[in-house]
Amino acid sequence: MENLFKEVHIEKVTDKIVDQLEQLITDGKLASGDRLPSERQLIDMLGVGRSSLREALNKLETMGYVEIKKRKGIFVKSINSTFQLDPLKRMMQGDKQKIVQLYEVRSDIEQASAYAAALERDEKDLTEIQKCIEDFQSNAGQIDFKWELDQAFHLAIARASHNFFRIHVIMSIFDFSKEFIQPIIEGFAETEENAAIIAQQHRSLFKAIEEKDADRAREKMKEHLDWTNRLLVEDLR
């Protein structure tokens, strides 16, 4: 009979704060590089004391989820921030074809992401993806392509797949490839024609996800990334 019962523990406020912030990060709702609200704002939003909050933030920093920068704020760290990526970056600097190979890996993952998003997405996910598409439109109604907006669109699809690892693997690829790929992508997206093509590809992909057509969503993601990959290869020649 004694084995049926477990001792009851009262959870500390600090642990509740850690659990909440950890969940937001692992769900991808707080992304790598995001700056958290100030201590004062967090205290008000969470309804906790300063000492409990600071203890929780210190614990999250020790766990590798956040980085506390003096006079700058609290920032979410990449889930892969402890990986030794410098050797890989040096390899890519010495062999540009490695950039193409990385893009191929991204394409494989994102095709699966689009397929799963079409099956798993909810109305909140659709709203988030739609907003990303709308953010590409400038006040004048023209397509205003930015790397960060493109990342947000692809991450919104990953979140719609509701798979923790898929979200963070894609985030890590973006973090790792930014210095190599961002200048190239933004370069060819500066033309109105290419920017319009990207926008149309995004809309077609969204439509497939909205209609829960998983095969078409995967196909549209492949078409989109194959097209940008061709431009990437041409630029690297």
Q: In the predicted model, what is the mean pLDDT of the chain?
A: 84
What's the pLDDT score for residue 108? Answer: 94
Residue with tokens 């690892």: 165
Q: Are residues 142 and 195 in the same domain?
A: yes
Residue 139: which domain range? 86-236
Same domain as 28, residue 108: no
Alpha-carbon distance of 127 to 133, in angstroms, equals 10
**Structural domains in the chain (count):** 2
Tell me the CA end-to-end span of the chain in Å, nearest whole number. 74
Q: Which of 1-10, 16-25, 168-177, 214-223 has the highest mean predicted lDDT (pLDDT)?
A: 214-223
| pLDDT of 67 strictly over 50 | yes
Residue 3 lies in a domain: no
37: left (phi over 0), alpha (psi -120 to 50) or beta: beta
Each residue of 102-133: pLDDT tens digit? Answer: 888 899 999 999 999 999 999 999 999 999 99
Pair 101, 196 in one domain: yes
Pair 93, 153 in one domain: yes
- Assess whether 119 and 173 both reside in one domain: yes
Amino acid identity at 173? I
Q: In terms of C-beta density within 10 A (0-12 exposed, 13-18 middle, 19 or more buried), how is residue 61 classed?
A: middle
At residue 159, the pLDDT reads: 92
Decide which of 76, 94, 117 is a domain's last residue.
76
Please indicate, yes or no, if residue 2 is contained in any of the structural domains: no
Integer angstrom CA distances of residue 235 from 71, 171, 181, 184, 198: 41, 24, 11, 7, 17
The domain that holds 57 is classified in CATH as 1.10.10.10
